[in-house]
Structure formats: structure tokens, C-alpha cells
Amino acid sequence: MQVALAMTRIIGLDPGLRHTGWGIIETQGNRLRYVGHGIIAPCPTLELAQRLNKLFQGLIDVIHNFSPDEAAVEETFVNAVNAASALKLGMARGVVLMAPASANLLVAEYSANKVKKSVVGVGHADKAQVSMMVQRLLPTCGVVKADAADALAVAICHAHHRQTSLLMRA
């Protein structure tokens, strides 16, 4: 007797204050299906609090429109040279974590190296390699800008690692 595997819709998020990429896939067992992608880009002339609010509202709209079951967020690499930029990126990352959590979604986090290794096979792949592999794994997504490709890669990484994470939580 064969057991039917449930389909899970995953939103992957690549945090950024200027551009936050999002990508949505469905997974059933080891099968992946592209659903949608995009970028949220708050106006850079707005005050920081208003930019963060635009980012939050944009993510809430995406979550409402696509109804994902789970979320995955890429951990950000912090360059200690510019502390002010790192702090602002951290605030944007907090918003990116909070939006799916406020929609009661399970939120997983993955390092950039783990995402790249899961999608490309190499932990230090460049953005062009990630984008190319995302397009090979999800052929119906078409050409995808870097931030959205990274978000789709985060969703793919989560699809590959979610069963292990669920077992560890249990």
C-alpha cells in the first residue's frame, strides 16, 4: 500500500532593506513545483521606520495572496566594516522573520552556504550559478532576478531539509 505524500507550499525569503526577494514553491516528496516570485523594494527616500513597514506590509500581502504553509529565511552575512548598514540589515531581517511568524507559519533559517550547497552543490557558488540552478530545478520560473532567485533557492533548500528539521523538532 502506497501512502500519498502531502503537498507543502513554501515561501523562501532573502532579506534586504533595499530589495527583499521572495519565492514560492510547492513540494510533494522530492518533487518541486514553481508557484511565484518577486521582489519587495521600499522607496529608498522614505524614513527607515516607513521602509520597514512597507517591507512588512509587502510580505504580509504576499503571504495572504499565496497562502504558504511554511517559510524559510536566509541568514544574512554581516560585514563588520559598516556597523550602521549591518544594523539596518538586521532590522530588515527581523521584519522578514516577523511577517511569516505573525501569520503563524513555521519559520526555518538557513545559512547562505547551506542554501548554495543544497541548490548548486558548492557552498561558495556565485549569484549567477544559483540563478542558473534555480532555473534548471524550476523550469517554469523563467528568468529570475538575483534576489528572487536567492529566495527560490532558500525555498528549495528548505524543501530538501524540512523532513529532517521536522523529525528533530518532534
Which residues are part of the catalytic machinery? 14, 74, 147
User: How is 9-39 classified by DSSP, letter by letter?
Assistant: EEEEEE--SS-EEEEEEEEETTEEEEEEEEE
| Distance in angstroms (rounded) separating the CA atoms of residues 78 and 87 | 9
Please answer whether residues 89 and 16 qualify as being in contact, where contact means their C-beta atoms are separated by less than 8 angstroms.
yes
Helix H or strand E encompassing 107: strand 106-110
**What are the φ and ψ backbone dihedral angles of 122, each rounded to 5 degrees?**
-130, 130
